[in-house]
């Protein structure tokens, strides 16, 4: 029986065998069979491997990631971005790649010490890059963010960023500031992005979002007052939409889509969706 993706205690890179992913600036390597390759076979190829990370297990088998500075050409293989896998791959595979991509981003961003500038070294047995000169430890970063669906009866407030796919509207989101609670972040971001006030916040769930290393904290909030005024340079358009006349929405497995679908289901008495985790 398939068990999908599971993170486990760090795998020792000295262990033989297992499977491996390959990550480069162009994304992940894949072929007709998927993204997992025999690890020992990969190490016999002409690859410029910068780093290797023990990740976890997929269907009970150990998985490592090989990090390349430049994409290599292997017969029958191709490179694909994480966003493409998000749209096309099964969810366990996307979860594995999302975790791997965040590990790769962390290692790439901490090759040098942020305090003294010295080259860092990976700490055996830990997800940590340590500076041998000043001792600064840099662990994998998680950036907490809030994402909220604001509602007014049978209407939902949705907005467009200039970065979105053409025509798509979504919920509001933003990063938590230092010293700020998630609830305070919801009220501030909604006020900044669309100029309205909210009340009766309800936490609904969370989802890791690997673009590049966010933890999305999902909320529902009720409209409390004000007129929509989109934030310049951040919000292209924002409007109230009736739940039976919605615009194009984010992809199904995103927490943004979950917040919208959950509210619609509750208003219409339909089966509630499940949040992908």
Number of residues in the chain: 277
**Whose CA is closest to 152, among 223, 93, 208?**
223
- Using a pLDDT cut of 70, give the percent of the chain over it: 99
* pTM, entire model: 0.89
Residue 190 pLDDT > 50, yes or no?
yes
Residue 136 pLDDT > 80, yes or no?
yes
90/23 Cα distance (integer angstroms): 19
CB-count exposure of residue 198 (10 Å: 0-12, 13-18, 19+)? buried
CB 234 within 8 A of CB 193: yes
List pLDDT tens digits, range 102-129. Answer: 999 999 999 999 999 999 998 888 889 9
List pLDDT tens digits, range 20-54. Answer: 999 999 999 999 999 999 999 999 998 989 889 99
Name the E strands within 128-270.
Answer: 128-130, 137-139, 143-152, 155-160, 172-175, 197-209, 214-225, 237-242
pLDDT band (50, 70, 90) for residue 236: very high
158/233 Cα distance (integer angstroms): 16
146/161 Cα distance (integer angstroms): 16
* Average pLDDT score over the chain: 94
CB 163 within 8 A of CB 235: no
181/197 Cα distance (integer angstroms): 17
192/100 Cα distance (integer angstroms): 33
22: preceding bond cis by omega (within 30 degrees): no
pLDDT band (50, 70, 90) for residue 3: low
SS3 (DSSP) at 157: strand
């Amino acid at each position: 029986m398939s068990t999908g993706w599971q993170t486990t205690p760090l795998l020792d890179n000295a262990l033989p065998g297992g499977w491996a992913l390959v990550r480069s600036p162009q994304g992940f390597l894949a072929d007709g069979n998927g993204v997992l390759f025999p690890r020992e076979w990969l190490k016999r190829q002409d690859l410029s491997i910068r780093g290797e990370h023990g990740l976890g297990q997929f269907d009970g088998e150990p998985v490592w990631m090989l990090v390349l500075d430049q994409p290599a050409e292997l017969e029958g293989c191709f490179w694909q971005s994480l966003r493409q896998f998000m749209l096309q791959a099964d969810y366990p595979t996307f979860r594995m790649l999302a975790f791997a991509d965040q590990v790769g981003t962390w290692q790439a961003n901490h090759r040098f010490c942020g305090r003294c500038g010295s080259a860092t070294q990976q700490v055996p047995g830990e997800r940590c890059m340590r500076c041998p000169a000043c001792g600064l430890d840099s662990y994998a970063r998680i950036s907490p963010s809030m994402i909220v669906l604001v509602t007014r009866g049978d209407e939902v407030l949705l907005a467009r960023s200039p970065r979105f796919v053409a025509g798509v509207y979504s919920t509001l989101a933003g990063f938590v500031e230092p010293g700020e609670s998630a609830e305070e972040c919801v009220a501030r971001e909604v006020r900044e992005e669309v100029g309205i006030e909210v009340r009766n916040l309800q936490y609904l769930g969370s989802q890791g979002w690997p673009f590049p290393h966010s933890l999305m904290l999902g909320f529902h909030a009720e409209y409390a007052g004000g007129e929509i005024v989109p934030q310049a340079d951040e919000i292209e358009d924002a409007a109230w939409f009736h739940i039976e006349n919605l615009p194009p929405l984010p992809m199904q497995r995103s927490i943004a889509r979950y917040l919208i679908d959950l509210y619609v289901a509750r208003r219409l008495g339909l089966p509630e969706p499940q949040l992908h985790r």
